[in-house]
Amino acid sequence: MRLPAEWEKQAFVQLTWPHPDTAWYQLPEVLDCYVEVARAITRYEPLLVVCRDVEECKADMAARQFQPEGLPIRFVESPLNDTWARDHGAIAVCGDEGRKFILDFVFNGWGLKFGADLDNQITRNIYRCGAFAPDVQYRDMRPFVLEGGSIDTDGAGTLLTTAECLCSLNRNEYLSREQIGQKLTEAFGLQRILWLEEGGIVGDDTDSHVDILARFCAEDTIAYTSCEDPEDENYTRLKAMEAQLQSFRTLDGKPYKLIPLPLPETLYLDDYRLPGSYANFLIINGAVLMPGTGSPLDEVAAARLRQAFPDRTVEVINCRALLSGHGGLHCITMNYPAGW
């Protein structure tokens, strides 16, 4: 088995579309953002939209002057609780002799924090509806709990993750850390796992998903969330994570090229600090889509990502509304490699 890197050629990206019964605090603004994300993705590659009702979804798009007709968009209906495709979506792996699989892990609402009975069935539903190529095989990974946002890979056998999330209560607490690592190694054909012991962003309710903290940009390059303000409540944990990243080595024993991304401007919903992160970017064919907030810091972060992806266009999409649901651009998307 091999878990492909996100920068490898892709077949399509999945979005799971919000509706009035999903738990979004600012639904009109969130739908505006989803349309902008869909618009950007379809400039580069096909899009799969999972929704509870296709006509309802198309009406949302039409109300925002986005017409899917003529664009590379497919719709699949499925009941759903929420819309975080990164975490309830399938994870694609390459098998021996060109075999292709989607792995369907348990999604339990980030450790039983939120209802997920419908979301946990989405991958199976869309597989049965023909969302994937005919030669893609379905593999049920139950009872193991895993969210796509909790892992990142270089595509060459190294997995980056956080101990806080994978070893948290209400996920796989019946397993030791060594047993969790063994299951990941078997599922993804890994050579090693880089465990982040430190790092976290105030307001995050995923138990420190790695996709808001540190991301592979190439086999030798990691972009990460940095904090330089000692007065910021994120400072201590992010500095400790930075030190650990500096200690990591590539498979051939060299230090990683590290690209620090600033924390976005501090935003609140009522008195709750929202967990913004420029590391929550999405790599697609020919581009990197980065979540912004409309702050001047957006361009600072984008300029640094352009160093990491000189052969791709870096586009900034205002995802401020997504922060009302404590997530970002990478969180609402799931990418699938070419052939899937």
Gyration radius of the chain over CA positions: 19
Token couple for 101: 């699989």
Give the residue-averaged pLDDT of 23-31.
94
Mean pLDDT across the chain, nearest whole number?
A: 97
Backbone angles phi, psi at 238, to 5 degrees: -70, -35
Among 279, 252, 268, CA closest to 320: 268
Give CA 190 to chain center in angstroms: 20
Domain architecture of the chain: domains with CATH: 10-337 (3.75.10.10)
Owner of token pair 């986005």: 66
The pLDDT > 90 percentage for the chain reads 99
Type of residue numbered 328: G
Element (H, E) at 42: helix 27-42
pLDDT tens across 121-170, in order? 999 999 999 999 999 999 999 999 999 999 999 999 999 999 999 999 99
pLDDT tens across 261-304, in order? 999 999 999 999 999 999 999 999 999 999 999 999 999 999 99
Distance CA 244, CA 247 (A): 5
> How many residues in the chain?
340
pLDDT at 329: 98
Active-site residues, by number, are: 331
Element (H, E) at 314: strand 313-318
Angle between helices 27-42 and 54-63 (to 10 degrees): 90
With bands split at pLDDT 50, 70 and 90, how would you rate the model's confidence at 209? very high
Evaluate whether 259 touches 221 at the Cβ level (below 8 Å).
Answer: yes
Which of the 8 DSSP states describes residue 329?
T
pLDDT at 13: 98
